[in-house]
Amino acid sequence: MKAYKNNGFQDRVDQVAKAKQRLIEKLRDKPEVDPATEEARLLASQKREAAQAEKRAQRKAAEAAAEQEARDRKAASEQAEADRLAAIKPELTEEERKAARDARYAARKKRR
């Protein structure tokens, strides 16, 4: 571990300038890219982007199909519930029950 040096302001400014210069030289020393290699990279990038776009489109279509299927299932279950409720006889009111009872009573009396 390096020992701590009490550097002055000018020393720190010089260190920053040297570090900046090293970064500039490092970037400047970078070899130029061969045009054929650059074109190959560009084609690969375009293929990758096209594949990703196709995958996104397929995923979106699958999600839309799943949503449509869910809506269809919900509509079918709601229709089945409506049919089930329609098949159930409605509950008779008290007046209707009394009228039916009186009709049965009158029919029994008439048979005697």
What b-and-e string marks burial along 32-59, b requiring 16 or more CB atoms within 10 Å of the CB?
A: eeeeeeeeeeeeeeeeeeeeeeeeeeee
**100 domain-assigned:** yes
**Residue 6 gets which letter from DSSP?**
-
pLDDT digits (tens, 9 = 90+) for 48-106: 999 999 999 999 999 999 999 999 999 999 999 999 888 887 788 899 999 999 999 99
Domains identified in the chain, total number: 1
Distance CA 43, CA 46 (A): 5
**2 domain-assigned:** no
**16 domain-assigned:** no
pLDDT digits (tens, 9 = 90+) for 6-61: 778 888 899 999 999 999 988 887 778 788 999 999 999 999 999 999 999 999 99
What is the pLDDT, as a whole number, of residue 89? 75
Which pTM value belongs to this model? 0.46
